[in-house]
Amino acid sequence: MSSSRSPVLTVFNTLGRSKEPFAPLQPGRATMYSCGPTVYRYAHIGNLRSYLMADWLRRFLEAQGYGVTHVKNITDVGHMRQDMVERGEDKVIAAALAEGKTPREIAAFYTDAFLDDERKLGILPAHVFPRASDNINGMIELTSTLISRDYAYEVGGNVYFDVSSKRPASKKAFVRRRIR
């Protein structure tokens, strides 16, 4: 990429609350994360719309000459608290009980269905699909870091992001993690 080239994309920076020209952290490279499915049922048109939008963004960046790494998570576990399961708030477990299967079987079936839906729609597969179940220790560590830095707080066994917390000095992410 030539540095004299005009911006290829304008994005809304939610931290700065303004439109800004897209500027990759590394010249010629773009990394993108998009939230993937919680795999307890088939995807619906609203879910698929977000995956299509991420696909279009990726294709646009690639067409502009960027090397893109796309990460899309798979939420294959739900809440870990028994009281939430008993109230039916864990969607993976609720689906498993309703279908007479294990949560793992439900997650595997609907993950395959999701990937098949994306294939049928011509959506490029992400380069990395981290599964929530493979990253629980990292999530606990990240949550502990957010609490220790006063970006989050705990109430009644739940952790909430503190939207009034001080903003980081850097406009880049205040917690960086490396995806396996």
Residue 7 pLDDT exceeds 60 = no
Token pair 């279908």 is found at 99
Domain boundaries, the chain: 10-134, 135-180
Report the percentage of the chain scoring pLDDT > 70: 81
Q: Can you give the pTM of this predicted structure?
A: 0.78
pLDDT of residue 164: 81
Report the percentage of the chain scoring pLDDT > 90: 60
Residue 174 pLDDT exceeds 50 = no
At 51-97, the pLDDT tens digits run: 999 999 999 999 999 999 999 999 998 765 556 656 667 788 888 88
pLDDT band at 169; cut points 50, 70, 90: low
> Which CATH code for domain 10-134?
3.40.50.620
